[in-house]
Structure 1
């Protein structure tokens, strides 16, 4: 697919490090998008498995696949920035080697971007699958809109004040020139680099949100974000760096640093509570004050489902991460969508089936 001028319209960038076992699925899902990407750029971060062999075989099947090999392991953020430099498209999609795009992702996001040329990017929802427990859910936990919509910068600020984690970068198609203009992804932000720059773009230019599933997000304990969060010192350093950048950047409202800090602390605590066993070091690191420490220590002693519910309940009460009414409304809306999809579906491929199963355990 090309733009009216004949130039490249869409580039899909996939950073990869040792995901040879699942890389083929991710590339196939991208190649099956209609409309498809003009080019798929895989930046291999000096993998030590069979990733390059897999990619070379895939390039024979998909001529729009381009392989960029880094001479040494540079980390995910460096791989993303290299992919941005390599991309020639007007729009860029940044995926992950172990996730699966669902049919309709590019069709929906590109349509909204063409309809709203002022928007920096368009994003939608994801189905979350825990590779270790089999638990499934959906994100964002609260929708900013219940119909496809352009959110102007003022709308973005209004929504962020109530619900902070609805921008899902794994589903976002972004205007390349705007991302280049702000300098790409900041490595100092660690696993928050993509979320930070997309928040900044949304507050400066506005963005589009589409309430439909566009991705299967497969999470596991060895993923980049969860590995980072499992280290309380590294997590707090990232938090401090992000807050300092937010406070000194005029694009962000003056109140946003406090909202972001509450949501980030809750996110770290939720992942720690969901770990098997619960991550004691992180939970206790998040418990300043005798009351908080007593509650979370008690939750750790209880362990199991009861302990996790206790920890999450306390963290929700303390950090107030999102809108309770929004959680309820989004859950009801998704339940109706799932029932309608189940009634209308007469056949689907394996990727679509995962997206239309009943959604439980929504991530908050």
Structure 2
């Protein structure tokens, strides 16, 4: 029997494959979708106005796989809007936001669906470890550090993780599988932001639990064009979004521990902003620390310095 969206054994999983100038990597990415052992996939190829050969490659794969859907955006709109274009049309019970410079390992979807089927509806996200690879697909290291016995120290958080996602970055974004109801609850990604993951973690973790699957399910590409390589440099386009998410988080905090976790994050962002000369943003971060009532002596000095330099 062909699996359907109503078959409880094989719930439909939507993979939103987001592409912007990934021509050197997109074939490997799309081949990894074809290699999935899971039988009930809803694949959307979204090209965010690529200027290289990505569009031609996506059309080639779509022609060879008629069930795959395509969206070719006429102008570059960024990850948040591009993902939402597919999310609002797709029918999956679960979603994977898949950048086409990364690679899904063959059992990725099957493993994560199996975990979701053991969890109750309060869990909105299953995430895992990732293998980091270079531009030639050579392994570099894993996302999480392990000891000589292969144990994680500390083990990534499961359950209610709101304070943890405020305090530090620990989730490998490409490994996430998201429950549709969680995305619907949030209205999809916030399209006013320059990037999606921090905002999604904060808003989703307020109302849904997360589960860590101790397995490597994904290969994440490291290359010079990645956001992480550009972060915190002068005129960083993502820092303003980070500050906006921190302000959203302050509204969502309910306990002193959560506010302390947010202060820890804002304090770290303040130091990075000053270090890289983003003085206007540093002044905004210092003002946010004052709203949290968490200014320490060094924070006061950095805030004063930033206000003089902005």
**Structure 2 residue 95 is the aligned partner of structure 1 residue 95:** no
Measure the CA separation in 2 of the matches of 1:124 and 1:249.
26
Distance 2:92 2:137 in 1: 38
Map 1:168-317 onto structure 2 (within 5 A). Answer: 168-191=172-195, 193-250=196-253, 253-262=258-267, 264=269, 283=276
* Aligned counterparts of 1:221 and 1:251: Cα–Cα separation in 2: 39
CA distance 1:62–1:45, shift in 2 (3 Å): same
- 1:4-153 equivalent positions in 2, closer than 5 A: 4-5=6-7, 9-117=12-120, 118-131=122-135, 136-141=140-145, 143=152, 151-153=158-160
Task: Encode CA deviations 1:302-333: one digit per residue, 9 max, x unaligned.
Answer: xxxxxxxxxxxxxxxx99xxxxxxxxxxxxxx
Q: Which stretch of structure 1 is more off in the superposition, 81-90 or 132-141?
A: 132-141
Tell me by how many angstroms 1:79 deviates: 0.7
Secondary structure, aligned partner of 1:88: coil
| C-alpha contact 2:230 2:236 (8 A) present in aligned 1 | no
Structure 2: distance between partners of 1:75 and 1:202: 23
1:298-337 counterparts in 2 under 5 A? none
**Partner in structure 1 of residue 4 of structure 2:** 2
Partner Cα distance (1:251, 1:88) in 2:
34
Change (3 A) 1:131 1:176: same
**Residue 244 to residue 78, structure 1, CA distance change in 2 (3 Å):** same
Unaligned 5+ residue runs, structure 1?
270-280, 289-317, 320-364
- Structure 2 length-normalised TM: 0.75
Tell me by how many angstroms 1:216 deviates. 1.0
1:105-152 deviation line (CA, Å, top 9, x unaligned):
1122111111102210101011112439978222245858759x9x33
TM-score normalised according to structure 1 size = 0.65
CA displacement, residues 24-67 of structure 1 (integer Å, 9 cap, x when unaligned)? 11011012111145221011112222222211211233333211
Deviation at 1:222, TM superposition (A): 1.4
Structure number having the greater helix percentage: 1
Kindly tell me: are residues 145 and 202 of structure 1, through their superposed partners in 2, closer, same or farther at Cα, counting changes over 3 Å? farther
Unaligned runs of 5+ in 2: 147-151, 283-297, 300-310
Q: 1:141 to 1:235 in 2, by over 3 A?
A: farther
**1:220 is paired with a residue of what secondary structure?**
coil
CA contact (8 A) 2:249 2:262 kept: yes
Whether the 8 Å CA contact 1:232–1:282 is kept in 2: the answer is no
Aligned residues: 271
Q: 2:33, 2:191 → 1: CA distance?
A: 26
Q: What is the distance in 2 between the residues matched to 1:260 and 1:112?
A: 30
Report the 3-state secondary structure (helix = DSSP H, G, I; strand = E; otherwise coil) of the residue aligned with 2:259: coil
Any conservation in 2 of the 1:46–1:70 contact (CA below 8 Å)?
yes
Residue pair 2:234, 2:277 contacting (<8 A) in 1 also: no
Q: 8 Å contact 2:246–2:266 — kept in the other structure?
A: yes
Cα RMSD of the aligned pairs, angstroms, is 3.3
